[in-house]
Amino acid sequence: MKVSVSLPEDDINFVDHYARDRGTTRSAVMHEAVQMLRRRDLAMDYAAANDEWATSGEADVWEAVTGDGLR
């Protein structure tokens, strides 16, 4: 799919330099950037879910049994 985006000149220069250094295209650079944003958001979601779990009291319940049979 072809799209058009408006970016500041500095950003375009960065993308072009990045693509040139790696022997790839602007499209590939933008695709990589989108993938990185998705991974960052996913990591933040996992961290938030872990924090919620830890503060809900459920972590304490699991901690009481996770060592069963391992000693």
> Domain locations in the chain?
27-63
Q: Phi and psi (nearest 5°) for 64?
A: -70, -25
| 39 pLDDT more than 90 | yes
- pLDDT > 70 in the chain, percent: 94
Examine the pLDDT at 71 and tell me if it is beyond 70.
Answer: no
**How many whole angstroms separate alpha carbon 60 and alpha carbon 51?**
13
Whole-number pLDDT of residue 60:
82
Does the pLDDT at position 66 exceed 90?
Answer: no
Q: The pTM is what?
A: 0.68
When pLDDT is cut at 50, 70 and 90, the band that residue 40 belongs to is very high
pLDDT at site 15: 98
